[in-house]
Structures are given as C-alpha cells and as structure tokens.
Structure 1
C-alpha cells in the first residue's frame, strides 16, 4: 500500500485535548510515499509524551489509512503507529511557551546586543526583587530566567509579581514599560480560552551612563537613570538636569560618536591674576613661553 519513511520534518500540532500550549496548527501527516492516492486517513488514538518542565515532547498514536488504485477497486486499509517529535523553535517566545507552566513574564529588551555579564546582572536583580513577592507557600514566584542576545525573559508562576517587579526594574534602569496579555490557546470541547498570560515588556534606553548625546541641538552627557528619570550634565549651563525618561525619548536625542575632549578656557586680563592663580610671588619671576 505504501512505503513508510523516516519522519524528518514535523509541524507542531494541536490535536485531541490539551496540554499543547498555545494552539499552533493542525496535524500534518508524516512523510510517507504512497503507491495509491489515500482516500481516508483516520486518527484512531492520540496521547502525549512530556519532557522537562512538563512541556509536550511528542505526540504518539495510531492512524488508519485507506487507499485504492482506482475507483473500481475496493479500498485497502492499514493501521500504523505514528510519533511526532515536537521541536520547539529557538526564538524567545517559543522557548518560554514550551514550559506551559508560567502565568506571567518580564521581557527586558535592549536595542543592542549585550554581554553575558550584563544579562547575568539583570537576572540577579530580578531574582532579588522576586524574593519580596513570595507565593502562598513562601517560595519565590520566579520560575525561570532565559538569556537571549539583547535581553532576558523572566518567567513567573503568578501574575501580580511580574507587573510590580517589572516597574521597579524599569524605574531603576530608565526603561519604558508596556503590559499586554498573551493568548494561551483555546479548548474547543468547552468553547473556552485558557487563561491569558501577562507580558510585561521593558524597553531599555539606547544610551548608557557617560554617553554623549545631542539633545535639542546641545551636547549633554548621561549621568544615570533613577526613579524613571534621566540625569544628565548640561555643558552649556554647567549644571546637572533631570527629566522623565519618556519625555527624553520623545525628544529623539541622537548619539554623538567619537571622543569629545573637554577644555576649560580661562581669560586673564592682568598678569597679577595669573600670579595669584599659580601661587607665585611675582609674575615677573615666571618665564612664559608664548609659543606654547
């Protein structure tokens, strides 16, 4: 009837009942070579295999396939076992969805690639903040931290901590917070959605402390981010200023590339002034090279 081949390419399926989370696609038949055009394909049994963190690692079952060489020949049927290995993608969302056990997450995203040390520093800070929001059993709500190239994903087993921790972290680092919900699937048998997951996205600032920035046609230097404000040094006025991070970003500041040298220019009108500043008794005793 057909020649069975080794399965190579599979698509994640939403067949039968949960726990596949979230709904992705429909079952795609394995790679078989048919000698006759299949007429009927019926899935007889379905069960799920689970891996680490209780995520679905495979779908196994049996399928009835009926085929015939032409309309005038009775159908021939065969029952075959099948197994679909669920291979999750490498993107951040795929890697967090595969756990299926988190209720909320904090996504910290930087506009640039970060060093591992920076990611670990952020992760440690999130971990420390999480200790202040224990679950009913006293354990930390933080479930897992995932590193990606330009940020981290922190997964939580309850919804409230992610929102609170995300806003505290954002205030300390000059980030902009946006809160959304993530669709978590649909149970067709009950015509009911699974609980949605809270997503707290923190967009980190483009500029780091000590960066020189062109802001409203003048040069400033970033000092620090604190309490949802950016503190910077105004070279024109020679003072430190503060303003809300959101207002600062809306002004569309631009990075100044290269090295900026700082000079202090002093104008002296009398030679006595120079003598006083240089702490000498008389200006006449000092030799000055006018060429330098």
Structure 2
C-alpha cells in the first residue's frame, strides 16, 4: 500500500523519515560565527517533537492557538515552525523589523536579541532562543522570558497531539495572508513545482533571501519535493562555491553560483 499523501506540514517530515531518516536534511552555516550544524531527518524530528511537547504541555498550544515566531532563518527555526504546526496551531510570522501585532497571540518565540523589545509590549508567554549552535541557553539575560533551550530538553522525543489536527485550521498568518494547515502543504507542493525543486536536490539557501520569501518557500517546498537544505546565514561570498561543492549542492535559492541551477530562474539557453 502506498503511503498516505501528506495532508498537514507534520506529514511532510514524516514522509522524509520514512524515505531517509539518517541522511542530512538541514545543514546550517553561519559565516559570522563560523558554525556548521547538520541535522538528519531523525534529529530534526526529535527537536520538532520536543518543541511540540513543550508548547502543548507548558503553554496549552493546540488547534486554534496562535504562536508568534520572531526568529531568523535558522535550523532551530525549522524545528519551531514544524513543532507549532504539529500541535495544529497557527504560526504568526513576525518580521525582524516589526515586533508589533503581538497582542493577539498565545505565546511568542523570539531570538534573544529581540526578547527585550517583545517584553516591552507586555507579552506574558515568551520563550527566548539563544540560537547557539549546540543548543545552549541564553547568556547575559535576567528577564522573565523562559529559556527555550533549557525548557525543551526535558520534553519527550515523541509527540502525540491531544486532539486531531484539522487541515482546515489556520496554519500561517503572514503579511495579511492566511493559509490553512492543509493549504500550506498544497502551496508548498505547487511552489516546489514552480521553482523547479526536484526529489533528491541539495538546495543552498541564502538566509536573507529566504526570510523575505517566507517559510513555505525555504522550508516546506523543499520538504514537499523530497529535497534537503544547506542554509547559509551571513554568507561569505568567497566561500560559497567551495561550500556548494563540499555539500553536493545541486540547486540554489536566493543566490546564483556558476554551474549550479538557480531555483525559479529559467535555465540558460
């Protein structure tokens, strides 16, 4: 019997796990800090489960909840987004230049540099993320926000939502656009086709361009197509070509490299 067609975002990750749990799924570089972090599908799924359990058990996140994500494009952000969607909740995307509009959300997850600004808005349920390459907690912070890294590690490695996840429920609120959980999967598949993402692609993603494109483009579309990601934050242009060769990159998103297919651009004639 063929596997069931993905219906909600959690199904996309489940499909990757069935296909190749051990292979690299998300590789993250930050050329400002020199970090490189690689996650297999199994490791990402572990982070997703722990995040979903944290949100469900400690913040009562479930269908109908609204979770603001004030995070850059990052491997931990991938886990947070998929964790929220695993709970059946909606992600309220919060651009770096705008921490307003958080008065109607149930919980906020913010990078440490933005925690103070979010606190000033009177947000009560707040998790701060250090984005440390090894998942360490925040340093030099003494406010009331709970530390994601410290909280998440004590939660279970497997997640079961308290109630069924409704594909028709809200999944993403972004710049006035609302997509259902099922709509996220549909749009991801359509976008993957339009961009030209292929099964088995290793996609090099420029984090700044990905942030502008949104999580459907940089995360869900590659998952829907059966591709893996190499995310580059603060990329050093003189290293990208060598990195692409070392990582077996077959396509790029948001940047051009000689000899490598750029997604969304017609092939040269």
TM-score with structure 1 length normalisation? Answer: 0.20
Which has the higher relative contact order, 1 or 2, with Cα contacts under 8 A spaced 6 or more apart?
2
Greater C-alpha radius of gyration:
1
TM-score, normalisation: structure 2: 0.21
- Larger strand percent: 1
